[in-house]
Structure 1
């Protein structure tokens, strides 16, 4: 076991605080990674506050991790010590179900689904009677820490040309928007709408633009209209009913990145026949949709969950090739609780990234 330090919450109402713990030694086919940067995702806040009802405490968030390989476990050969690598939302899956064998680990159908980078098995044993915990872990600690140990097949190569700090959010915000854009076949000349212009939304705009699409961002604030123009996208207030009415039947694809319950009925009519509206931001029940608007134009309403390991490497490589990176604000870990409040207020443009040198300094001074 190796000593480590991280920031964790012990209750849904508590702040993140320093917590010493021990990481397991890298086992067969695993690598140990010194964490350099970790993005702050809105889902970190949902999980810490137990807003999905499945949090395992203590909860040490962080699934947008960039670091350097520091040790190899027996038989590990995909990465070398010193390599710049990334870790996203998953660190393992069953590897045997149809989804895993197809390369869609993010839809793993094993007894516990995929193993989350933090918060243990996706389905805690207490909520899955009779289902064994195949991973042998009741909880996992994420990237708000000095180090992490991960199965090598779930470790991504960070390409040259990507700033390591800016690369971190690509491992969640990037692939979460890339996966549906690719799966639903967005191509040059398509008209794409993006609902919400936060951490996920601004990455969706950048990726869709690089694919050659014409992009419109729908937002609720005039400040975000300015941000949309900076991204070379059209910006519209989704409260502007006349503007939405004028766009009916014009979009090939719409992606909703809003991280909480919202109403999609204003956006369904904007789709062309056979167009798709895909939700990636919210995991809770949404407002009912008027199916007449769906059925009469053979429109599709769908959801998408992060992305596979293959897709994550694809989006990292695509971003490096096209010079795409999220807009970030780098902070020391000691400011993470204030960062959470800013994220909830929508005051960050567009993603906080924690510099873990600040945590190592805290560890050295302890």
Structure 2
């Protein structure tokens, strides 16, 4: 790992930025205080909301932390520009959104709410959030769903911010390196939540690569430091990722069950609930591939959900919120990685300590030719 990042936190453990209210300041602070790198998730927040969370986090810890931004999304092929009138709206992707909305009408009736407006915006306040980060620099910034322009990465670097960008393939990692990021987050198919693919092409569904293979391939191709992400729940798994060529490991689901996490209680309980036995990648809730616990909503609507992010995210948002408010996990987006059954309900700081001890034990076993367990 680059010394610029190594100097920021003593343990090679990064708490993943989980949007939707999970990665709150108290969670990031607890991880940072324990020697890991805590992260805030700016996705789905306003620029001011992000700024307020940064201020709160700085009041809780003096240790370095990171902030994650979602990249603005380009329109899908065939999207209407609005200049062709009513006929122009009946284009493939837009029509698919309308058909899916019709399919979800029964869900809206069931939860006694309205569907959201699919045209609520594609930018996620990106420019305003960048302005905040340039005016009030944070130690680390990461980006999901694409790569910032080289001049933006350079501006953040000059402001003293270390930059990371998610990649799900070797080709994406090469693009991250060319753009001038300081490190790449290698996200394997095992990861919970949204896959950070740079271009969401439906024909690539099912082509994602496992974490260890991805890390090894990127390590042989790209000179950037690698942060491994995807299904990591134990120190022995972190040791394996580091042995494959990563410099640090990013864990999300492992921290989701901690008391500091802002995840809904039903979401935390579902991780180890025997009712939810497996995860799948689905477009059902957002229109982009994301891994979550298989529930009723995913089973009934996943096969029909179109590739249309963030339109589908906006469309289903009221349904998901109403399901949570009514205590129904079968209608919630229960994002989780493949290792969800290994979740431990430990305080975040204690979890970091346990992971560090497990990592040290695994490294000792690995160096002596013993068992990694």
**Pair in the same fold by TM > 0.5:** no
Structure with greater strand share of residues: 1
TM range (shorter): under 0.3
TM-score, reference length from structure 1? 0.28
- Normalised to the residue count of structure 2, the TM-score between the two structures is 0.27
